[in-house]
Each structure stands twice: as C-alpha cells, then as structure tokens.
Chains A and B, each alone.
Chain A
C-alpha cells in the first residue's frame, strides 16, 4: 500500500516535466497564428515551442510551419485548425507515434525519422477519414 503511494507521488512529480516536453518548434509564422493549450490561447510566433495535445489555429491571413523532433515538417494554411492528438519519439530507437488531426483547413507535411523506421507511425485524422503516412510529402485539405 505504501509502495503504491510512492509510485503515485513519483508520477505526480514526473508529470509536469513530461507535459512541458517540447515536441516541435514554430519556424514560420505569418498573420494570425495561435496555439490552443487546454484553456489557454498562446501566441505562436517564430520560436514558440509545441507540446503534445496542442492545437494550432490560423486566421484568414495566417499560416505556420513547424519542425518536429523527429525531423517531420508540417505547415498549415489560412483558416486551419490542426491538433496534435499524440506525439512521442525515441531518438535512440526512432520508434514513435504522431497522431495529427486536421479539423479544417489545409496542411502540407514531410514525414520524418519515425515514419522511416515504422511506416504509418504518423497518421492524419480528418472529419471523414484517417490517413496513414508511409512517406514522405503530402497535402491534406478539409473544406468548411
């Protein structure tokens, strides 16, 4: 019983550090671009850091480009809503998972090291489909 409590305490300490792990960086940001993180809306200028579960939102004049830790590149065009439902990457084994979700708008992407290691470890969900990425460059559009 005491052991279980210790584990819970250890997890509680580890969780904030893990949640703060950067999974990618905004390298291009034009017009109105923000990051929705839980209930917070943060500006997404060049240099902003992304975390798993973040959502990128662009306005009518907005576009953004992101590099992820596995070297995946993703950009979104105007009027887009793109969330990163899951992201993990092991830089030693190259195992990982990238589950993106394009709710609306346009996305272009170049897959990175995890897809090279395990095809379809990157997926893009849309309102009507799931796309598996075997590599490398592709575009997706969800109209309003």
Chain B
C-alpha cells in the first residue's frame, strides 16, 4: 500500500516535469536607427544559451511554453506592436561644439553662431536640459586635464545661465583628454581639441 502511494507520487512528479511551465511571452528586437545604423543586442534566456541579434528587425521570442524562437520581424509589425511606445521615445540629444579665441574668454565668431543655434534648439524641445562637456588637448596629465576641462565647462555653464536658462537645467562635465576631436600623440597642443561641447536633450 505504501509502495503504491510512493509510485503514484513518483508518477505525479514525472508528469509535472514533462509539463512545461507557462511563462509570459516575450519579444526582443533590434530597430535600425534613423541614420540606418543597426545595433546589437544579446539575449540570455534564464533557461540557458545566448543569441546575438544584429540585423534590422532581427528578433527573438520566448513563447508561453518557454521555448525560444528566432524571428525576423517586418518594420510594419514592430511599428504596429510598439506604436505608443515608439511615439513616446524622446528626441535624440543634439550636440553643439564651441571654440574660444586663443588665450581668451571669448568665443570665435563661428561659435557665436553655433551658440545661437543651440538657443533655437532649446526652444524646440518640451523640457530641455543641457550638459556642458569640456575637452582639452593632450598637453599635461590626465588629472590636470580633467580639472581644466571641467573648469571650461563651468565657465560656459555660467555663460548659458546668464542668457536666462535656469541653472538647475544645466550640468557641467569634464572629459579631459579622453575624447579627442583630432587624434594626436600625448603632449600635443591642438586648438581643435580645446573645445566645449553642449548636449541638448
């Protein structure tokens, strides 16, 4: 009698093991950027393995029985399924670059025009916030340039505040010599690398 009960329990366990657990169906897909760039995602299901997806509208589905299926969706299918979601995606940040006259606190004439463009961009966004990012050339140490680039960014931040943009909307950051516009060796004076970038988002 006890043996029978055990057998029944064992059969029940086996039945459970055969019956796949129901999961919420999931979908992962790569969407091409407006400029045509196609990105890459890596999907690692809890059940093991991984899939690298790097084609336009390339997708992976996890079905309700837990099985995994690779798919290629159409642009129309994605745009329909994600209509409200894609419509809510904020606009991409726009970047402006400003240069100073040598040894002066004053912008070059071209940069003054660029600053006007930035102000126009600010007005076109619902709730703009700004990051001012300073960059240096490669003369000097990493930490010296980190500080110098932040000081330049702070100066431009003050300038933008004086134009009437609320201070709490503007962050300053220094990238030092980590992001050269014109690649050079270390300890090279290069005016084009001494710049301030403004991201409006």
A-B contact count (CB 8 A): 164
Interface size on B, residues (CB 8 A): 52
CB contact under 8 A between A73 and B175, given known A67-B201, A143-B25? no
CA distance A91 to B78 in the complex (A): 33
Q: Is A136 close to B, CB under 8 A?
A: yes
Known: A66-B90, A92-B175. A138 touches B30 (CB 8 A): yes
**A128 and B88 contact, Cβ closer than 8 Å, known pairs A110-B33, A137-B39:** no
Contact A78 B84 (CB under 8 A): yes
- Majority secondary structure of chain A interface residues (helix, strand, loop or mixed): strand
Complex interface: chain B residues within 8 A of A107 (CB): 85
Query: Closest CB of chain A to B185's CB: distance in Å?
Result: 21
A127 neighbours in B (Cβ, 8 Å): 23-24, 26
Which of B's residues lie within 8 Å of A, judged by CB?
Answer: 23-33, 37, 39-47, 54, 62, 66, 78, 81-82, 84-90, 92-93, 125-127, 129, 131, 133, 146, 150, 171, 173-176, 178, 199, 201
Residues of A in contact with B (beta carbons under 8 Å apart)? 25, 27-28, 30, 46-47, 63-67, 69, 71, 73-78, 91-94, 104, 106-111, 119-120, 126-144
